[in-house]
Amino acid sequence: MAESIDPAFLRNSELFESQPDEVIRAVLAQGQLLEFGPGEVVFHQGDQGDRLFVVKSGVLEVLSTPSDASEAVPIAYLGTGEVLGELALLTGSPRSATVRSPEHAELFAVERAVFIDLMDTLPAFSRNLCVVLARRLETTTLKVPRASGKQLQGSLKYFDLATVIQTLIGSHQTGNLTVTHRKKKTAELFFYSGNIYRARYRHLAGDDAVYQLFQGTMEGDFSFTGREVAEDEVQSEVSLPAISLLMESVRLQDELPMLKERVPDPDRAFRQKGEHLLWEETDSVELAAAVWSRLKKGASVRDLERDIPRCSYAIYRTLAALLDAGQIE
215 pLDDT exceeds 80? yes
Other beta carbons within 10 Å of 226: 20
Query: Does residue 245 fall inside a structural domain?
Result: yes
The residue out of 142, 171, 200 marking a domain boundary is 142
The residue out of 109, 142, 175 marking a domain boundary is 142
Indicate whether 295 and 203 sit together in one domain.
no
Other beta carbons within 10 Å of 212: 24
- CA dihedral of residues 268, 274, 277, 279 (deg, nearest 10): -80
Indicate whether 173 and 74 sit together in one domain.
no
Predicted local confidence at residue 1, as pLDDT: 42
The 3-state DSSP class for residue 278 equals coil
Indicate whether 132 and 178 sit together in one domain.
no
Predicted local confidence at residue 70, as pLDDT: 67
Interval 240-260: pLDDT, tens: 999 899 889 989 999 999 999
Sign of CA dihedral 204, 208, 210, 211: negative
Beta bridge mates, 74: 63
User: Residue 91's pLDDT band (boundaries 50, 70, 90)?
Assistant: confident
85-94, 200-209, 223-232: which is most confident:
200-209
With a pLDDT cut of 90, the percent of the chain lying above it is 48
Indicate whether 78 and 97 sit together in one domain.
yes
Query: Per the structure, how many domains does the chain have?
Result: 3
Beta bridge mates, 5: none
Indicate whether 17 and 136 sit together in one domain.
yes
CA angle 135, 74, 168 (to 5 degrees): 45
Predicted local confidence at residue 2, as pLDDT: 46
User: Residue 142's pLDDT band (boundaries 50, 70, 90)?
Assistant: very low
Indicate whether 162 and 241 sit together in one domain.
yes
The CA distances from residue 328 to 269, 287, 289, 309, 324, in Å, are: 10, 15, 13, 21, 9
Indicate whether 302 and 243 sit together in one domain.
no
d(CA 171, CA 111): 27
Residue range 220-242: mean pLDDT, rounded: 88
With a pLDDT cut of 70, the percent of the chain lying above it is 92
Length of the chain: 329
Predicted local confidence at residue 153, as pLDDT: 85
Helix (H) or strand (E) holding 191: strand 184-192
d(CA 120, CA 304): 67
Predicted local confidence at residue 145, as pLDDT: 45
Predicted local confidence at residue 274, as pLDDT: 85
Contact present, 282 and 309 (Cβ < 8 Å) = no
User: Residue 86's pLDDT band (boundaries 50, 70, 90)?
Assistant: confident
Helix (H) or strand (E) holding 176: strand 175-181
Sign of CA dihedral 244, 250, 255, 260: positive
Predicted local confidence at residue 138, as pLDDT: 57
Residue range 211-226: mean pLDDT, rounded: 91
Interval 8-50: pLDDT, tens: 888 888 778 878 888 888 888 888 999 999 999 999 888 888 8
User: Residue 96's pLDDT band (boundaries 50, 70, 90)?
Assistant: confident
Indicate whether 312 and 202 sit together in one domain.
no
144 pLDDT exceeds 50? no
Give the CA diameter of the chain: 85
> For residue 114, what is the domain's CATH number?
2.60.120.10
Predicted local confidence at residue 143, as pLDDT: 42
Q: What is the DSSP letter of 57?
A: E
Predicted local confidence at residue 307, as pLDDT: 95
> Which residue type occupies 289?
A
Indicate whether 12 and 132 sit together in one domain.
yes
Query: Does residue 257 fall inside a structural domain?
Result: no
The residue out of 112, 142, 172 marking a domain boundary is 142
The residue segments making up the domain with residue 37 are: 8-142
Interval 97-122: pLDDT, tens: 899 999 999 999 999 888 888 888 87
Indicate whether 267 and 238 sit together in one domain.
no
Predicted local confidence at residue 166, as pLDDT: 86
Query: Does residue 258 fall inside a structural domain?
Result: no
